[in-house]
Amino acid sequence: MSSLYEAGAMLAAECARYTALGWMRGTSGNLSVVLGRDPLRLAVTASGLDKGEMTASDVVEIDATGAPVRPDQPIPSAEAGLHGRIAAVSGAGAVVHVHALAPVLAAERWPNAVHLRNLEMLKGFGGKADDWVSIPVVPNSQDMTVLGDAFEAGYRPDTPALIVARHGVYVWGSDLYQARHRTECLEWMLRFILET
Ligand SMILES: [Zn+2]
């Protein structure tokens, strides 16, 4: 893929969009894009920054465990390790993690998995409108290995999302655009089932 700086510019633009939607409040949320596969390298947003004010330099190159691979880089997001795990297991090219409210409310109501069916927006999520999709829900943890193991235990190749209870949602896709479209469609569907 592109250079780290180019990836940083793309991530900053995406962060601004998610911030405008209210899904990256405070300094919450983080995005990543795969830079290379062998070995796995990702560009991930730096920790602790206002996601509406990111620049192309506010990015860190990490390995599959979330550890920075270059000296003199910013500190990666605390959740970088889960980005690496998701990219490694799913083969995704980009991972979105936002603290949108609807996924967290849905996990509160359906704490094991959130079921979606017979919704046109499932097509934007990568399936067919009459598919039956179950979004896995895992308990929150500050330990990315614990979260990664829970993700992998419930992983299905046809379901590109994971809700972390009382925390937020991860959605992935082949690139940042597909991951964004899936995130937007999923958030809409979760709001729909919460309100009906
Ligand atoms: Zn988070």
**CATH (domain of 178):** 3.40.225.10
Distance 26 CA to ligand 1 centre (A): 11
Say what the pLDDT of residue 78 is.
86
Low-confidence ranges of the chain (pLDDT < 50): none
Annotation: binding site for Zn(2+): 97, 99
Say what the pLDDT of residue 2 is.
63
Measured torsion, CA atoms of residues 105, 157, 181, 39, in degrees rounded to the nearest 10: 110
Say what the pLDDT of residue 127 is.
86
Short-list 148, 156, 154, 175, CA closest to 65: 148
Tell me how far apart the alpha carbons of residues 27 and 23 are, in angstroms, rounded to a whole number. Answer: 10
Distance 189 CA to ligand 1 centre (A): 20
Annotation: binding site: 97, 99
Say what the pLDDT of residue 14 is.
98
SS3 call for 190: helix
Contact 54, 12 (CB under 8 A): yes
Say what the pLDDT of residue 98 is.
98
Distance 175 CA to ligand 1 centre (A): 20
Contact 52, 4 (CB under 8 A): no
Short-list 71, 60, 66, 103, CA closest to 83: 66
Distance 56 CA to ligand 1 centre (A): 21
Number of independent structural domains in the chain: 1
Distance 142 CA to ligand 1 centre (A): 10
Distance 99 CA to ligand 1 centre (A): 6
Q: Which helix (H) or strand (E) holds 180?
A: helix 176-195
Distance 166 CA to ligand 1 centre (A): 10
- Structural domain containing residue 124: 3-195
Contact 60, 136 (CB under 8 A): no
Distance 129 CA to ligand 1 centre (A): 29
Whether residue 39 has a cis bond before it, omega within 30° of 0:
yes
